[in-house]
Amino acid sequence: MTIGVLALQGDVREHAAAFGALGESVRLVVGPEDLAGLSGLVLPGGESTTLSLLLESSGLFDPLGEVLGNGLPAFGTCAGMILLAGTVLDGRVDQRRFGVIDLTIRRNGYGRQAASFECDVEVSGLGADPLHAVFIRAPVVEGCGPGVEVLATLPDACERGSPVHVEPLTDRPGHHRPVVCRQGPVLVAAFHPELTGDRRLHQMFVEMTKEERR
Ligand code: GLN
């Protein structure tokens, strides 16, 4: 089985190295011909507006939308999360998205580059040890559809820097500031799991690709 990493822009090498370290075979995806036979696809962090433009110019947007619509497991981190969401706030007007996870996302919702921060988050399904999470111009989840499972939320205290005030979710009381979510075969994180040595979220995605194949 082969995990694809969308390789147009952003943290491509880091994701490829993470799956490589887990013993998975990895294919860099740069055009429609790279989509055949993948067991899952990672959409890395970077810049969602640029990724949207590059997805169009490479001819990948529509074929990728089709395989995602047919249930290909996907793991979107930061900008990748924005691309997978149903609704994007504060995006470019021409920015496109795949709409395979029922989230409303606000780009740069925690603030700009200088407001980047790090935090330990507890992720349901990853055991008791928290995951160290790096947030860089991170997106905020402002709405969560009924089919979305919230696997982690941001704690109030963060190690470095503190996020701007974010309004509590009205459609999901008790799930203030979700940062890891799943809906069926789609997993998203608002931070950059590829930038730390902890591979548990990547491992969770590998398990999801195996579930889909059963
Ligand atoms: N703010 C970026 C965007 O809109 C995402 C930042 C990131 O991936 N670190 O795409």
pLDDT band for 159, please (50, 70, 90 cuts).
low
Joined tokens for residue 158 = 């963060």
- In the reported structure, the alpha carbon of residue 214 is separated from the centroid of ligand 1 by a whole-number distance in angstroms of 34
- In this predicted structure, what is the pLDDT of residue 116? 84
Task: Give the other-Cβ count within 10 Å of 149's Cβ.
Answer: 14
Average pLDDT rounded to a whole number, residues 197-204: 97
Residue 126's CATH number: 3.40.50.880
20-54 pLDDT, tens digit each? 999 999 999 999 999 999 999 999 999 999 999 99
Pocket test for ligand 1, best of 107, 110, 179 (most atoms within 8 A of CB): 107
For ligand 1, atom 2, which residue shows the shortest CA distance? 47
DSSP 8-state secondary structure symbol assigned to residue 37: T
130 close to 121: Cβ distance less than 8 angstroms: yes
- In this predicted structure, what is the pLDDT of residue 114? 74
- In the reported structure, the alpha carbon of residue 90 is separated from the centroid of ligand 1 by a whole-number distance in angstroms of 12
Res 213 pLDDT > 80: no
Count up the domains in the chain and report the number: 1
143 close to 166: Cβ distance less than 8 angstroms: no
Report pTM: 0.94
Which residues have any ligand 1 atom within 6 Å of their CB? 45-48, 78-79, 82, 107-108, 136-137
Domain that holds residue 141: 2-213
38 close to 70: Cβ distance less than 8 angstroms: no
- In the reported structure, the alpha carbon of residue 25 is separated from the centroid of ligand 1 by a whole-number distance in angstroms of 26
Question: d(Cα 179, Cα 86) in Å, to the nearest integer?
Answer: 16
